[in-house]
Structure 1
Amino acid sequence: MASTASMKPVLLSTLLVLTIGLTLNLPASGAGEGDEQFLYTGFTGHNIILDGAATITPGGLIELTNETFRIKGHAFHPAPMSFRRSPNGTVQSFSVSFVFGIMSSFGDIRGHGFTFFIAPSTDLSAAYSIQFLGLFNDKNNGSTSNHIFAIELDTIQNTEFSDIDNNHVGIDVNSLNSVNSSPAGFYNDSNSSMLTKLPLIGGGPLQIWVDYDMNSTEINVTLAPVGIPKPVKPLLSTTYDLSTVITEQAYLGFSSSTGLSTGHHYVLGWSSAINGAAPTIDPTKLPKLPYLGPKPQSTLLVILLPIASAVFVLAVGIGVVLMVRRHFRYKEVREDWEVEYGPHRFSYKDLYRATKGFKDKYLIGVGGFGSVYKGVLPGSKLEVAVKRVSYDSKQGVKEFVAEVVSIGHLQHRNVVQLLGYCRRKGELLLVYDYMANGSLDKHLYGQEGNATLDWGQRFRIIKEIALGLLYLHEEWDRVVIHRDVKASNVLLDKEMNGRLGDFGLARLYDHGTDPQTTHVVGTIGYLAPELVHRGKATPLTDVFSFGVLILEVTCGQKPIKEDPEGNQLVLTDWVLHNWHKESLLDAVDTKLQGNYNISEARLALKLGLLCSHPFPNARPNMRQVMQYLDGDVTFPELLPAHFSFGMLSLMQNEGQLVDSSRMSSYPSPMMQSFGSISNLLADGR
C-alpha cells in the first residue's frame, strides 16, 4: 500500500505534463463557446491555402505576387471560421490584425495594391488578373451575391472605382467602390487630430487592425508602422451591418494582382479572433522583408574579370561576331534615359517572334502612320496588336516615349490598353491589347465578309466612344488629346464593345494648362477647321472628329467620297442638305433597311452636326455629349439655318486650304445663328 501511495504523485505529475503538452498543440481559442482565433508569426510549415502566383518564401513570408505581368495570387487561412452562432444569427464581433509590406523593384513606378478579405469560399478563379486586385471582375463587381467584405490597400488611383488617391485604405463591401476610404496614415495618440501619412509601398512593414462590433455594427480600421502600439483613434470608422454580407462560415484571406504594373505583396504575420481581440503579434518574431535592390558586386570578381577577359579576348571576339550576325535582326535602340521605362519596354526579339517575323499573313491593318500586326507573346501567350511607326530623327523621341509610357497607365473599358513600346533603328513599335473583331470601318462598309452592324450596336458604340473620350479629356490625371479619332481607330472586342485605340499621335497636358501642340496631324475629313488654320489641337478638335464619326456610323458613308462624276462630296454637307430639305432621316444608312430607332437616329444626326460645327465655341464638350446621349439633358432645338453648308469644304486638300471656288455645290444660307448655338450650349439646354 505504501508503494502504491508513493506512485500517485508521480502519475499525477505525468498526466499533468501530457495534458499541458496536448493543450499547447491545439489551435488558440477564445473563452466563449464556439469562439475561434489563430496567430501566425511567419508561415513556414503552416498549411496556408495558396493559389495563382502566391507562395511561401524560404524566409517564411506569404508572397502574393511578383514581377510577372497580369497575374493574381490568393492566400487563405486553411479552415473557415464560424461568424454566426446559429444559421440565422447575426455576425459576431471579430478582430483581425496583420503585418504586411509592399515593394517595387522599379523605384517610383507603382504597382497595384492588395486586399484582406472575408469570403464564402476559396474559389476566386473568376477574378481578373488586372485592375480588380484579384478579387472581382467587370461583371460581378458590385453584386450582392459576392458576400465579400474586404479592406483594400491600394497603390494606384483608378477613377472607375472613385479612388481618392494612389495611396489609400478602403473598406469594401462586394465591390472595389469603397464604402469609406482615407489616405494611408495613423493618428498619433499625443495629437489625435493630425494624420501622419504613411507610404503603403516601399516604406517598410506596416501593421493593420480590423475590428467589428456586432452591437453597434461599427467597423474600425487602424494602421501604424510595426513596433508602434495600436493607436487609440482608428484611421477609418464606418457603421455597416455585416450580417447582410458575411455568410455563416467564411474564409479569411489575401488577394492581389499585377495587371500591367508589377510589385511584390508580402504578409509577415497574421492573427484573428471572434468575440475578442486578435492575439498580439510580436514584431521580434516576424520574418524580415527581402532586399530587392541590386546585389553588391564581389571585389574578387572585379579583379578577376579583366584578367579573364584578356585571356579569352580572341574567343569572345569571335563569339561576338557570330552573335551579331545571328541576332542582327533583333537589334534595338536603347539609351540611358529609357531605364526608368523598363516594365513598359518590350524586346524586339519577343515582338518579332510573336508576329512570326512580321509576316504578311499576320497583317491586320495598314494606315498612314504604320502597319499593324497580330501577335502572340511567346512567354505569356497574350494576344497583342503591334503597330510599326517610322521616325526620321531622334528629336522629340524621348518626350514621345515618355508620353507613350504615361498613356500606358490609362485604364478604361472603352479605351484600348497601350501595353508598351520598343525602338529599333528608325522605327517605333507600339504594343496594344488585341481586339478580336477588328476596326469599326471594316464592319460599317462590309469588308472582309463582316456583317453590317445593326442600329442597336451602332448607337451603343457611339456612346462607348463618347465615354472613352470623356475619360481622356476630363477624368484621367492629365488631359489626353487623341488627335486621330476615326472609324479605323475604333476597335471592337470579342463582344462587339467599342474601344478607342491607336494612341500613336496622342498628346498630354496638365488640367488647367494650355496645350502646346502646333504640328498638324490627323486624317483628312476628320480635321477641325481651326486645327488646319492654327495647328493647335485641343479637346474640341477631338469633339469635331467625333462628330464626323457619329455621322459616319449613322449614315454608313465615309467623311469624303467621290460621286460618279468624280466630284468630292463632304458627308457633313450632305447631311445638312438632307436636313434643309426636311428629309434628315434620308441620310440614315440604307443598309439598315429602316430597322432603327427614329428618335435615336435623329439625335445622332443632329449631335454629329453640332459636334462637327465649324466654330469651336459652338461645339459641346464630351460631358455635354454624354448628357445628350443618355437623355439627361434635352437636346437644344436647332434648325438647319443654325449651320452653314460648305464650311467643311474650306478645309485643306493634302494639308492646304482651298479657295472658295472649290466649295461644295450645295446652297449656303446666311450664317447668322452661331451665337445662339453657343448660348444654348452655355445654358445647358
Structure 2
Amino acid sequence: MITMKPKMGRNWVIFLLLVTSGVVMASAAEVLVTQFSYNEFNEERDTGSFKLLGQASIDGGALQLTPDTSNDDYIFINKSGRIFWPKPFKLWDSNGDEEDGNLASFVSFFVINIYRQPSWNAGEGFAFVIAPNLTIPEASHGQWLGLTNATTDGDRTNQIVAVEFDTEKQDFDPDDNHIGLNINSVRSYTTVSLTPSGIEISPEEGTNYSVWVQYDGQAKVMEVYMGKEGDPKPSSPLLRDTIDLKHYVKQESYFGFAASTGYPAIQLNCVLKWKLDMEILPGDKGFMWWLLSIPAVILILVVVGGIVYLNYKKRREGGNREEGNVLGDLRRLTGMPREFRYKDLKKATKNFDESTKLGQGGFGVVYKGVLQEDGDDSTTEVAVKQFSRDDIKGKGDFMAELTIIHRLRHKHLVRLVGWCYEKGKLLLVYDFMPNGSLDKHLFGDHYDNTLNWERRYNIVTGVGSALLYLHNEFDQKVVHRDLKGSNIMLDSTFNARLGDFGLARALDNDRSSYAELELGGFPGTMGYVAPECFHTQKATVESDVYAFGAVVLEVVCGRSPGSEISYNQRLYSLVDWVWMLHREGRIVEAVDERLGNNYVDDEARRLLLLGLACSHPSASERPATLAIVQILSGSVSAPHVPPFKPAFTWASMASLTTPTTTSIILPSIASLSP
C-alpha cells in the first residue's frame, strides 16, 4: 500500500490530499514525504510490485533474499539475491551545483528474521542497500553479501551505500555478529559489534528484529537503530557516522535489500515488514495529478481551500499581532540569549520524541536535544523545555519573568542558552547536564559510590555559592523557592548547577504570596519547606536557607528529608534524627553508612551542624547566606546549635508582611535535566 503525507512548515501553505475513487491529488507543500508501507508480503499480490533479482522471491509472508526452503541444505549453498522497490528516489537537488545541493532525508524501517537451524553455521550476511540500478553482480554469493564480487569490490563505479548485518567473520571483520556502513565494498567503512548490546543477528531460535536506518540530509548523518520487534525504538543508535551521499551514489537511486549464503555458512534472509519515508526536495515539489474526474477535484479544491483560508485568516489576524508584539519586546531585551527557530528545536529533539524526554512537571516537558551547528559538523547537547501552561497568554508576566532569568549568570546555575516563541508556543533552551540530578545519584536503584565525600562537599559548597549570588550578589534579590535535591544538576565533572528556576517574576514582598502566583496552592516538597511557609504562604530568603539545610543533611546522610528513620522504637524525621544524635554527642554517626570511613570527620561535623542551624524552626535564627558560604570555606567556625531542637513559634502576620526589600519569586518548573 502506498500513501502520501505532508510535512508542513511555518510559512503558509495549502495542502490538500484527496482520495476519490482511487484518485490522489496533492498541492505544493514546503516538504512532501512519500511513504510506502508493507506490514506483510503476499506472493500473489506483491511480486509485481518489487524487482526480484538472483535467488530472491516473495514467499511465506516475507521478502526472501535467498532460498527459503528447508528441505535440503545444498539448496542454500552459495546463493545471493536482491529485492528493490522498482522506482528510483531523488537523493539531492543539485541546483546547478552538486556541492550546494540539498540532500534528502529518509527513514527506512524494516523487520528482519535471519533464521538458521541449530546445526547450521550462520552466514553470510544481509544488507539494506542504495544502488544505481536494478541489477545484481554475478558471483556475489558468500562473503560478497549480494553487493559486489571479487572483480568489482571497492570499485567507485559501483555507486552503492549499504548497511550490512554480517554473520560470518572475514579477515577484515571484527567478528561474526556486527553491523557496518559499506561504501562500494563489503569492507565496511564503519563497524559495530552487536554482541555487547545483547543482539545476535542469526540466533538458533528465530527472532524478529526491528531496524531503523535513518539519514539526516542536512547534517549528512546516517544512524542505525535495532531492537527486538515490539520493543520501542532505542534511544541511542548502534551505529552513527557522517556520510555525504552525493559523493557516493547516483542522484536518482534505488532502495532495497541484498543478502547471500556461502559454504558451509547458510541462513534464511527474510524481511517481514518494510516502510520508507523519503523527503521530496524543494526543486521537485509541484502539483501531482492523478485525475479520473476533473470536475470533482475542482469542487473539492474550492470547498476545502475556502475552509482552510478562512481558518488561516482568523488565526493570522489574532495570533500574529500578539506574537509580533511579544517577539519585538523579547528581541529588544539587552543581552538576550540566542533565539532559536521552532523547526530547529523540533529536529534537535527528534520531533519531541518520547525517547528524548528527560522529565515532566506541571508546567511542561523537558527533552534532550542535539543541535547541529551551522557551517560545520559539530553538535551541542541541550535541554529543551516545552512550556505548557495555559495561562501563558499573560504576556506581561512572561516578559517580566524572562527579563530576570536571562540575566542570571553564575558558574553554579544552569545557564539559559536561548529561547523560542512561535505560534503561541514557548520553549526555553538550557545547558544539558550529563550527570543528571543529585537525588538520582543519592537514591538511585544502583548506588555506585560515584558521589564520594569530596564530591559531596563540593556539591554543597557550589549550591551555597549559587544561593549567595541569588540572595546578595545579583542586582535584585532572587528567592529560588523550590531548592531540593532533584533541582540540583550535576555537570560532566559533578559540579553542582542549581536549576529549575522556571520563569522568574519580579514581585515586591507584599505580592510574594504563593496563592497570588496562581499555582494551585502552596508548592514545594515535604522536608524542604520551612514551617512558617505553611502559615504565611510566602517565599523568603530565610525559607531558601531552610531548604538548603535540608539539602545539606540529605547529601551528608544519604537520606531523603521526607523519610522516616526508626530509632529506639520511635520514628524520626531526618532533621529530628540528626538533632537527637547531636544531643547525644554522636552527630557524626549520621554520615551516610555507604561511605564507610571514607570521609573527613571535621568536614562532616561542620556540614551536619550547618544543616541543623539552617533547619532552625525560627526563621530569624537561621544563618545568613553569606555566613553559610564562610562556614563552608572554613573561614568561620561551625555554628553553635542548641542540644534540643527549639519549638516553632509563629510570628504575627503583621511582622511577616512588612515589606523591607524587593525580591523575585521563582515559581517551580520541572527539572531541566535528567
Shorter-chain TM-score: what band? Answer: 0.3 to 0.5
Structure with higher strand content: 2
Higher relative contact order, chain-length normalized (CA < 8 Å, sep 6+): 2
- The alignment's TM-score, normalised by the length of structure 1, stands at 0.43
